Amino acid sequence: MFTSPDFCNKQIVFVLFNEGEKLAFSNDNIVVKDKNGKIKFQTTCYRLFIIFAVGHTSITSALIQKTKKFGFFIALMTPGYRLYAIIGNSKDGNTLLRRKQYSYNKLELAKKIIVNKMNNQKHELKIVRNKSDSVKEAIALIDNYMTDVTSADTLNKIMAYEGLASKLYFKNHFNNILWKGRQPRVKLDYVNSTLDIGYTLLFTFIDALLLTYGFDTYCGVMHRQFYMRKSLVCDLVEPFRTLIDHAVKKGINLGQIKEDDFLLVNNQYRLKWSESSRYVKILMTPIINNKESIFRYIQSYYRCFMKDLPEKAFPEYILGE
């Protein structure tokens, strides 16, 4: 497991693979070779935390062994940014932690996570300079929903208030464009498609951090167990989603994110491969800039769980601090 100073020096590497390119290991370095065997990129394994490998490539068993030895991860993603595997330094043997996970059945952590998320959504609306009446009303209503969540006595009620708050938030956060609202994974417009990519990158980063500590990432406290869903990752992504929301809105306002960058395929907006590196930079920047805060949040969450501390002691991520 990393300490905070160790993690500060770790690298997050993103590789977009073209046809014939390979990921390999050489002299304690990770290298990317083109189809002619020429080295296109290399970095030392000692400083790696995770490699996002997007596109079609091949890796060797020796490279998989090195992920264990040097303690880094390889996140394998399709050209459409769908995560399908994480290979690397997971601490699967932390049985004490997993027993504690499996025995937790209260609502307080779910409440804390959602109130944290709503607070960050409210902050994102508050920083708007010239607030419309709709934005002001949304801020007040989200405040009310936060109170409702704290007094909720079922998970369904918590999720219902979260849904109401998010609907209000997205309507007012993206009030500078015409769109039908947030619709996950269906990619009905370029904004939803961009948000999906950003959330997937954030999801993958948090997934790797949780695996570093040995969590069962399929066992959540809010998104309860469902076949093959990484419920805990879904939970702990929530407070950080506004990082992506902010980057997407800023990119739209600056003309960096636009509809022309996408292709319409089977009624879904798909990012053009030629635009991938530019979008990755836009969407990874808030994650990299906040990687230490995200790390400390996961580290604190782990310590609180292991020490059986009360829910009020668990971490919060406060946007803007």
Residue type (1 letter), 314: F
Q: Which of 83-92, 145-154, 306-315 has the lowest mean pLDDT?
A: 83-92
Q: Residues 100, 227: one domain?
A: yes
pLDDT in tens, 84-117: 999 988 888 899 999 999 999 999 999 999 999 9
pLDDT at 75 over 70: yes
Q: What CATH number did the domain enclosing 12 receive?
A: 3.100.10.20
Cα–Cα nearest to 124, from 108, 99, 142: 142
- Tokens representing 150? 């704290």
Q: Tell me the pLDDT band of 20, cut-offs 50, 70 and 90.
A: confident
- Judge if 137 and 200 occupy the same domain: yes
Task: Tell me if 164 sits within 8 A of 121, measured CB to CB.
Answer: no
Check whether residue 194 and residue 60 sit in a common domain: no
Query: Of 54, 88, 122, which marks where a domain is finished?
Result: 88
Range of the domain at 38: 4-88
Tell me whether residue 319 is in a domain: no
Tokens describing residue 46: 């000692």
| Res. 3 pLDDT band, cuts 50 70 90 | confident
pLDDT tens, 260-279? 999 999 999 999 999 999 99
Quick: pLDDT tens for 89-98.
Answer: 888 889 999 9
Give yes or no for residue 226 having a pLDDT over 80.
no
**Does residue 69 share a domain with residue 31?**
yes
Q: What is the pLDDT of residues 154-177, one digit of tens each?
A: 999 999 999 999 999 999 999 888
Domain assignment of residue 318, yes or no: no
Total domain count for the chain? 2
How far from 209 is each of 224, 292, 294, CA to CA, in Å?
A: 20, 11, 9
- Residue 178: the pLDDT is 77
**Which tokens belong to 5?**
């100073």
pLDDT value for 185: 81
Residue 276 lies in a domain: yes
- Domain boundary (25, 53, 88) is at 88
Instruction: Say how many Å lie between the first and final Cα of the chain, rounded.
Output: 25
Instruction: Examine residue 320 and state whether it is found in any structural domain, yes or no.
Output: no
Residues 101 and 11 in one domain: no
CA distance 71 to 152: 41
- Domain check: are 56 and 193 in the same one? no
CATH no. for residue 249?
1.20.120.920
> How confident is the model at residue 176, as a pLDDT?
81
* 225 pLDDT tier (thresholds 50, 70, 90): low
Q: What is the pTM of this model?
A: 0.93
- Other CB atoms within a 10 A radius of the CB of residue 78 amount to 11
Q: How sure is the predictor about 300, in pLDDT bands with cuts at 50, 70 and 90?
A: very high
Confidence bin at 227 (pLDDT 50/70/90): low
159 and 301 belong to one structural domain: yes
* Mean pLDDT (the chain, rounded): 92
Task: Report the DSSP beta bridge partners of residue 97.
Answer: none
- 174/225: higher pLDDT: 174
Tokens matching residue 292? 């230490």
pLDDT of res. 239: 97
Share of the chain above pLDDT 70, in %: 98
Of all residues in the chain, the percent with pLDDT exceeding 90 is 76
Residue 263 sits in the same domain as residue 149:
yes
Cβ pair 302, 97 in contact under 8 A = yes
One domain for residues 35 and 146: no
Tell me which of 59, 88, 117 is where a domain ends. Answer: 88
Tell me: do 148 and 177 sit in the same domain: yes
> What local confidence, expressed as pLDDT, does residue 2 receive?
74
- Within a domain: residue 321? no
Look at residue 138 and tell me if it is in a domain: yes
- 43 and 142 share one domain: no
Is residue 231 situated within a structural domain?
yes
Same domain, 181 and 257: yes
According to DSSP, the residues that pair with 52 across neighbouring strands are: 14, 75
Considering the domain boundaries, does residue 153 fall inside one? yes
